[in-house]
Chain A
Amino acid sequence: MSSAPPSADRPRRATSTGAYREATLSAVMFGVLFGAIMNAAITYAGLKIGFTIGGSAIAAVLGFGVLRGILLRGSILETNIGQTIASAVNTTNAGVIFTVPVLLLLAHSGKIEGFELSFASRDFWMITLACVAGALLGCVFIVPLRKQMLDIDRLRFPSAVAVAAILKSPGAGAAKSVVLAIGILVSIIIYLPAGLPAIRNPARLDQLDSLLARERISAKEAELTRELAGWIDAKAAPEAVVQRGEVILALRKLREQLESDPDNLSMQTAVHTREAQLKELAGPDAAGRYSAQACIAAFEASTGKSEWDALRALECGWAGAPLWGYQDLGIRLRSRKGPDGNEPIATDRDGDKRPDLVVTDEKIDVGRIIGLPDQMAFVFAIAPFALGAGYLTGRAGLMVLAGGILAYFVLNPLAFRLGYVPETIRADQVANYALGAFNRPLGIGLLLGGAMMGVLASLPAIREAIKSIITAGKTGSAAPGGAQAARGHRDELNFRTLLIVGGVAMVLLLIAAEFSGQGGAGQMTGWLSGLPVWLARALIVLIAAAWIWFAGIIIAQCTGMTDWSPISGMSLLTVVLVMMLSGKDDVVSAVMLGAALCVAISCAADMMADLKTGYIVGGIPRRQQALEIATAALGPVITMATLVLIAGVNMKQYGAPIGPDTPTAAPQAQALEVVIEGVKGGELPYTLYGLGAALGALLGMGAFAGLGVLVGLSMYLPFFYILTYGVGCVANIVIGRIKGRAWAEEWGVPFCAGLIVGEAILALLINAIVLLRG
């Protein structure tokens, strides 16, 4: 994107000789407003579908629309500030929604007691406080590493390069803007059939067979839908279902009353009685197989409060007909029916007596098409984003691909062959089994060891970078030497500011740790059980802060080298660490600190990516850093408030704050719940983390310090994303060889930036539609 166009190529704007617009009020307001809207929308969507999307690229595109298109005055750097703030406010939602909802799940199922998440509860404010502290710490800890990561190590940050390409497009000439637009268009065309099926309408009865044939719904869903249709036609439902609906509603009412009068003993007894009644009615052979919403709708319809047609809703278990997607192409393996007329397992793994689909909405199973052994999962994700990120990463990304091939094509089949996986696991299930059983633990270990080696190898650079910032604080210049000092320019935030903000954040974290969960009154049962509680809490906060610093470096390195970030893996380790320190029963504190860490590392990675974009467009880091620190704290407040609102509405409508019985299933929280149960049951393979760390450190001693991180990441991620990403890396190298490196950069970067942005925009649109349709 750096080569210049002929002057006639680009549209002219009014020539200015005034100050260059950068950190302006309109940029700040745009960033805060757009970031807040994205944060709330993505929080809801993330709770529903289990993952979030970054906002920088979308904010950059919209920034141009608003600041340049509507306000007619935005500069490249002003738009950069707008996207910096918008992504800072938005980025924290992943940290909260991957962690905090698990407390709602655990509290609702009675596994933790006394936890409540409402605007009036202490826990809400303490968790919000901890997340705000996390946001501040994430920003403060990563600022001193900017010089080392960007100036010295020159980490690539593919998405940040894409954002910079968008920002520079007006000045880069019409031809490159067209290439960028083509990239966006191609991305949308590729991703549309992958994303559209997320939008579902209640199916018509005459559609059920077709949906079943296309494997859009299961036989169970079709059966349930027909059952519900039968109730609608008969205007009657089984007695147990109606009764269950009545009990659920009564229980909700009682709980609401108990909230206003918590000491009322008779009310408490009534709640317990109703709960027992509900448990009895929810047995596997009784009404329990119908969703709470179906039971309520049946009860209300039978009492005339609503129409029977209300059962025709997805929340009631009615089958959904998704919009058209790749899966509807119906591309299947060639049939290999045996003499008995049945498909062998090689072509029919799911046992539905038809050859399996090889193209689904999200993946293409090339391995099965070309007949690779079952244990080699050669599957590509349909993800233009991964393709673009791979291209922008270039040669360094090949290490991720190599690590993935090593893990999924060599080690997993070997483990299967040598009998290291249970006999109940089939060859085609090895990749999935191995991901959870050993690839992920070893991958996280490799990440830790690789990152540790990276920090050690970069110590001289880090020392110089920090020395430079400290010197700048004293002389008024971040760059040593007289030239810049004389101008009085300061590139970086000075150390004193960072220390003050960091100190405040630590105090906030300590307050949150002291007053949440077991609080000061609780007894520690973990490794720190011998210490006075206040001292143990202070130690936990200090350890957590040190861990936040280290995890921030890991995430920033991962994002910088590849664009992937193992945030959920890091939060898992935090929860484990805190549960080890404070005791396995102190789940609230563990999850709270896990949330703080998750928020911190998202902020750290986002800040570094924004600074990379700023570097490419020539922004002043200090301005970006100050504004990001000032606004990042807003993010957790918005996410937590959205979460409380969603949980409140769910509780009223579905009788559960979050989880499978509600429209917001929170899949990541369900996964974390399994991990917490695993920690309590001593099921986590700690030794594998350690062995992985040793291998990661040794790998980092060789070709380059980040090798352990790259290989670790490749073992941590599902292989289908790595393969698509790898195609991008290889394309970069091949195009560079054929057309020359300069050509590959000049035209490949805007096109791939378009691929990344196109998918992000479309995903946001689809999320918005899902959100609006409830």
Chain B
Amino acid sequence: MKLVAFLIIAVSMCVGVVGALTAYVPPLSLSDSSLENLTLNAPAGNTSSDPRKPAPIATRGAVLTPELLATLRAANVQRVKVKEFSLARWPEWWLFVLGCLGLGGGAMLVRSMRRKAVAASIGARGGGMGGGVMPERAAGPAASATLSPAQLIDAMRADLEALRGKLRATPAQRDRLAAIVADLGHMQQTHIAAFLNARPEITARLGLGGYARLMDVFSAAERAINRAWSAAADDVENEAMECLDRAAELLEEAKGRV
């Protein structure tokens, strides 16, 4: 079904563009009165048989006169490119309209499918944003992908808490900084990446406004985590610790919003 929807969009796009292409290229089958006095915006016709040395019947800038039109028609020229546009000289307008209708229809189909897919994904997890019991600590990106947004935030909070505990128990500063770099690097690849992939689900539940409010806080937390990583990589421990505290607070707030 998804493929059908995208096919409709692609075909409609082609049809619409083909229709649009003819806007400035009226057919010479139109009457003289509708073509007269128009200015050519590209050469028309070709009397040369040598493809390397074309010889147009009329050059760009020439004004269409009844005589020129007759010459072009006699040379079996089907269309000319002109500077002026008029709906009356655009017989293929219906192709453009058809393309637009197809694009609109395809868009609605895609949207409805997306809604159904999100609903199915939420349903598969038993409804809601998946708060409550937090599963065991996810080991990698694949495991993180199975968690709900709320569970992911819980997992991040738990990981941060575990990291802080680990730091308290590590005597050497060098090892503490290395632990920050390692654990935050892991979190960036697993939980954070999985949370960002859950956008359709969160948007379906909270609306775009609610998603924006959530991401406002979540992104601040992510930046704090990123800053902690950089500070640890630069061996500035106090900044790294401050950022970890800030990230924990912001994740707490994000949990409230999800």
Contacts and interface: CB of A to CB of B under 8 A. Distances in A.
The B interface is mostly helix, strand or loop, or mixed, namely: helix
Contacts of A683: 41, 83
A147 B213 CA distance: 10
Interface string A5-23: 1110010111111111000
A691 B20 contact: yes
A330 interface: no
A171 B22 CA distance: 57
Nearest to A469: B216
A3 B226 contact: no
Interface stretch (A375-383, A458-466, A718-726): A458-466
Given A460-B207, A745-B189, A481 B217 contact: yes
B235 A4 contact: no
Given A464-B213, A484-B220, A695-B16, A20 B239 contact: yes
Nearest to B2: A703
Contacts of A3: 185-186, 188-189
Contacts of B250: 479, 483-484
Contacts of B218: 151
B10 to A, nearest CB: 7
Contacts of B22: 420
A171 B229 contact: yes
A15 B104 CA distance: 60
Interface stretch (B50-58, B119-127, B129-137): B50-58
A698 B5 CA distance: 14
A15 B221 CA distance: 25
A189 interface: no
A147 B216 contact: yes
B160 interface: no
A463 B255 CA distance: 22
A420 B141 contact: no
Interface in A683-698: 683, 685-688, 691-692, 694-695, 698
B13 A695 contact: yes
Nearest to A707: B9
Interface stretch (B63-71, B151-159, B171-179): B171-179
B107 A702 contact: yes
Nearest to A407: B17
Contact of A420 (B25, B44, B108, B111): B25
A699 interface: yes
A76 B103 contact: no
B230 A686 contact: no
Given A465-B212, A692-B20, A617 B13 contact: no
Interface string A132-157: 00000000000000011011101000
Nearest to A703: B110
Interface residues of A, number: 93
B217 A687 contact: no
A458 B239 CA distance: 35
Contacts of B231: 20, 75, 618
A685 B215 contact: no
B17 A411 contact: yes
A483 B223 CA distance: 15
B212 A75 contact: no
Interface string B173-215: 1110111011111101100000010010000000111011101
B46 A5 contact: no
B99 interface: yes
A4 B184 contact: yes
B224 to A, nearest CB: 7
B205 to A, nearest CB: 14
A517 interface: no
A2 B188 contact: yes
A487 B220 CA distance: 13
B107 A16 contact: no
Given A15-B173, A618-B243, A75 B219 contact: no
Nearest to B208: A460
A698 B216 contact: no
Contact of B226 (A5, A18, A150, A618): A618
B118 to A, nearest CB: 14
A371 interface: no
A154 B22 CA distance: 38
B149 interface: no
A703 to B, nearest CB: 5
A461 B208 contact: yes
A711 B215 contact: no
Interface string A716-742: 000000000000000000000000111
Given A7-B174, A13-B234, A687-B24, A698 B253 contact: no
A686 B249 CA distance: 54
Interface stretch (A105-113, A421-429, A521-529): A421-429
B193 to A, nearest CB: 8
A463 B210 CA distance: 11
- Most B CB atoms within 10 A — which of A148, A478, A619, A687? A687
A701 B227 contact: no
Nearest to A170: B233
Contact of B196 (A16, A154, A483): A154
Nearest to B185: A4
A455 interface: no
B230 A618 contact: yes
Given A171-B234, A410-B14, A151 B215 contact: yes
A178 interface: no
B226 A616 contact: yes
A695 B186 contact: no
A746 interface: yes
Contact of A685 (B13, B24, B140): B24
Interface string A476-498: 00111101100101010000000
Contacts of A463: 209, 212
Interface string A155-172: 000000000000010111
Contacts of A550: none
Given A171-B181, A479-B250, A618-B243, A688 B20 contact: yes
Given A2-B188, A683-B41, A698-B104, 5 more contacts: A17-B236, A147-B212, A460-B207, A461-B212, A688-B20
11 contacts: A13-B235, A17-B237, A168-B233, A171-B230, A406-B14, A419-B78, A457-B208, A480-B217, A618-B228, A698-B104, A702-B5
